[in-house]
Chain A
Amino acid sequence: MGPEAARLIGAGIACIALAGAGVGIGNIFGNYLSGALRNPSAAQGQFGNALLGFALAEATGLFGLVMAFIILYSK
């Protein structure tokens, strides 16, 4: 297996990290929705925290994507 093929396979495997991002984001917004359905008046105040949590959870998934790009495009 040459380096180019190994590069492509490695980039593909590194993208599995994005599954964690999906689970984390779904977790955050699912909990936000269930809390908002129980207490709708308090929901609007916490929407900022929900967005902050979403960005932090997505960041870790995107670290994996950055590794995939580094594997794919570094010389």
Chain B
Amino acid sequence: MATTTEAATTVAAEAAKAAAEASPMSQFQIERYIPLNLFGYDASFTNSALAMVLAAAICIGFIWYAMRHRSLIPNRMQSVAEMAYEFVHNIVKQTAGEEALGYFPVVFTLFMFILVSNLIGLINIPGVSHYYAPFTSTSHIIVTFALAALVFVGVTIIGIAKNGFGFLKLFVPSGVPWPMLIILVPIEVISYFTRPISLSVRLFANMMAGHTLLKVFGGFVVGLGLLGGWAPLIFMVPFTGLEVLVAFLQAYVFAILTSIYLNDALHIHH
């Protein structure tokens, strides 16, 4: 009697583990590939770190490989690299002006890194996913918060370095009668400090929600099998296209908001 109950509990435990592994949230699980302990901090090389290394390698490798001839009349691959460059260049020039083009490399790096990180999580190569399931490093709030904190702290330092204490004029809109200023200035200060939160949570929530929805509908396709699986599949195909669009859009919005905050810091007079 004891052995059958033990067998039943192990079967139930294995079923629960299998269900947890197949759940839509299991794709965000961090797995350590190379455990590493650095002064008491867990600095293991995880699948998130691998995804970030891959994103950086793809960005650098793509631009380097596309521009290796540097011909005046671009071939196809160089055209794509030039399109990406021109796209971000126009964003920075139109929102922050010509003199902010010194900060263009940061905005371009942010744009390309976020775009490639978002897209990496959508590509599933059969056979490889047994060892390394596709992982979106930007679907973790800590990664997007690091990027948003970089932008926020950097823009604040740039603003203070350029304007000194005149930087505080950012919170005082011009042409407002002084009784309203008493209410308006705290609101402006609070809304300034919610910038990194909104920047990071926007990217994180879009990535997590989108990829979770993809996994849920993928589960429907497999669950309904050969006879009924075509119905969710018909929805999945345009929805995956929407997720690719959202990946582009979130990278674009991050870049353009960075440029807008830079413009606010560089040109304080409203």
Interface contact A59-B201, CB-CB below 8 Å: yes
For residue B66, CB closer than 8 A to chain A, the reply is no
Across-interface contacts of A48 in B (CB, < 8 A): 256
* Nearest-neighbor residue (CB-CB) of A64 within chain B: B205
* Nearest-neighbor residue (CB-CB) of B25 within chain A: A73
For residue A62, CB closer than 8 A to chain B, the reply is yes
- Not counting A55-B249, A62-B205, a sample of 6 additional A-B residue pairs whose C-beta atoms are within 8 angstroms of each other reads A55-B252, A55-B253, A63-B201, A63-B205, A66-B201, A69-B208
Interface contact A51-B204, CB-CB below 8 Å: no
Nearest-CB distance from A74 to chain B (Å)? 12
Across-interface contacts of B249 in A (CB, < 8 A): 51, 54-55
Q: What is A's interface to B at a CB cutoff of 8 Å?
A: 48, 51-52, 54-56, 58-59, 62-63, 65-66, 69, 73
Interface contact B209-A59, CB-CB below 8 Å: no
For this complex, 14 residue pairs linking A to B, each with C-beta atoms less than 8 Å apart, are: A55-B202, A55-B252, A56-B202, A56-B253, A58-B202, A59-B202, A62-B201, A62-B205, A62-B209, A63-B205, A65-B205, A66-B204, A66-B205, A66-B208
Of B205, B206, B253, which contacts A52 at CB under 8 A? B253
For residue B118, CB closer than 8 A to chain A, the reply is no
Q: What is B's interface to A at a CB cutoff of 8 Å?
A: 25, 198, 201-202, 204-206, 208-209, 249-250, 252-253, 256-257
* Nearest-neighbor residue (CB-CB) of A73 within chain B: B25
Query: Complex formed: what's the CA distance from A52 to B199 in Å?
Result: 12
Query: Complex formed: what's the CA distance from A65 to B250 in Å?
Result: 17
Going nearest first, the 8 A-B pairs with the smallest beta carbon separation are A62-B205, A59-B202, A55-B253, A66-B205, A65-B209, A52-B256, A65-B205, A63-B201
Across-interface contacts of A58 in B (CB, < 8 A): 202, 206
Nearest-CB distance from B204 to chain A (Å)? 7
Query: Complex formed: what's the CA distance from A65 to B253 in Å?
Result: 19
Query: Complex formed: what's the CA distance from A8 to B214 in Å?
Result: 21
Interface contact A51-B198, CB-CB below 8 Å: no
Interface contact A62-B252, CB-CB below 8 Å: no
Interface contact B206-A62, CB-CB below 8 Å: yes
Across-interface contacts of B252 in A (CB, < 8 A): 51, 55
Query: Complex formed: what's the CA distance from A65 to B204 in Å?
Result: 11
Query: Complex formed: what's the CA distance from A58 to B204 in Å?
Result: 12
Interface contact A62-B253, CB-CB below 8 Å: no
Query: Complex formed: what's the CA distance from A63 to B202 in Å?
Result: 7
Across-interface contacts of B205 in A (CB, < 8 A): 59, 62-63, 65-66
Query: Complex formed: what's the CA distance from A63 to B198 in Å?
Result: 8
* Nearest-neighbor residue (CB-CB) of A63 within chain B: B201
Across-interface contacts of A65 in B (CB, < 8 A): 205, 209
